[in-house]
A and B are shown apart, each in its own frame.
Chain A
Amino acid sequence: MASTERRSSQLLRGVLDLCLLAVIADDPAYGYEMTKRLRARGLSIVGEGSIYPLLGRLERDGLVETHRAASNGGPPRKYCRASNAGRRALAEGIAEWTSARDGIDVVLGLVEAEVQT
């Protein structure tokens, strides 16, 4: 069980930046809001560390644009949205992910077929 969780953690770590860019590609969000969007799409990040350092890196790399705006009754929040460079990086990342996933599917699919026969 622990091994499964560890593998899931490692898999997610490699694409969490893409997932973050995906949830703010069209609609800006602040930190906790992004966490909720990820969860709403079935991706729990508990145990994966925080998204804040990753957001910091995306911002530093120019993949995310930020602005401050008032939230619902709360203090002004820092909203993030994928920049043009971020959208390009997201498209490239999705292509890489798809390619890697297809290759892995083929390899693991063969093993599965052998096990069944």
Chain B
Amino acid sequence: MNRFIEECRREWKRLHVPDAIANEMAADLAADLAEAEAEGASAEDVLGEAVFDARSFAATWAEERGVIAPAPARRDGRTSLPLVVVGAVLLATAIIGAALVVAGRSGSVEAHLAIAPVPRPHVAFFRRPGFGPVARVGRLKLWHAAPPFGQFVVGAPRDDTVAIGFALLIVGLTGSAVMAIMWLTRRARYAPA
């Protein structure tokens, strides 16, 4: 019985249940189990099948008391959809940023962002289109472009492209790292017993 309670304590500690509450639950459980034992009853008589899974029992108890957050991942095995979407967007941002840096430094690439007819924008990397720029807006140039990129291509000077690429890369990598930490934390928090 003591072993069961110790396992519960370890689980509550792992789940960051406040010590005062963990001590209270452990004391109540210990008193009940001791009384049951004195009356000749087993721990299973008190705890049912929970006696075979201390970690799950401890986590469920703490969760039902409201001292830890619910565990949707543990309940249904699904990963949070918003987390996946945000993670995918951040990862895509990092990849685009890295590609911009590489393309901008290659020297042979001048046009970096192709915009297909609205509303279907594309991001693409290719050599300078076969036509000269048809318009300039500040440091941006606008070219005609052949399919599949669409009708126009917006290009930026190489230095700007590298700077933008680095910015996107840093944002994407930092965000991805944060998301990965959050995911691992959730995974550890709701790991099955």
Contact = CB atoms under 8 A, between A and B. Distances in A.
B45 interface: yes
B48 A45 contact: yes
A46 B65 contact: no
B64 A74 contact: no
A8 to B, nearest CB: 13
B60 A53 contact: yes
Given A77-B28, A78-B28, A48 B65 contact: no
B28 A30 contact: yes
Interface string A57-85: 10110000000000100110110000000
Interface residues of B, number: 26
Interface in B80-99: none
Interface string B11-54: 00000000000001101110111111000000011111110000
A60 B65 contact: yes
A78 B28 CA distance: 7
A32 B64 contact: no
Contacts of B62: 56
Interface residues of A, number: 22
B147 interface: no
Nearest to A32: B32
A47 interface: yes
Interface of A is mostly: mixed
A54 B64 contact: yes
Contacts of A50: 46-48, 50, 57, 61
Interface string A22-33: 000000001110
Interface in A1-53: 30-32, 35, 45-50, 52-53
A59 B48 CA distance: 21
Residue of B29, B34, B64 with highest tally of chain A CB at under 10 A: B64
Contacts of A59: 65
A45 to B, nearest CB: 6
30 contacts: A30-B31, A31-B28, A31-B46, A32-B32, A32-B36, A32-B46, A45-B48, A48-B48, A49-B50, A50-B46, A52-B29, A52-B47, A52-B61, A53-B57, A53-B60, A53-B61, A53-B64, A53-B65, A56-B61, A57-B65, A60-B65, A60-B66, A71-B31, A74-B31, A74-B34, A74-B35, A75-B27, A77-B28, A77-B31, A78-B28
Given A45-B48, A50-B46, 8 more contacts: A31-B32, A31-B46, A32-B36, A52-B25, A56-B62, A60-B65, A74-B31, A74-B34
**7 pairs of A and B residues whose beta carbons are closest in the complex:** A56-B65, A32-B32, A56-B64, A53-B64, A57-B64, A60-B66, A50-B50
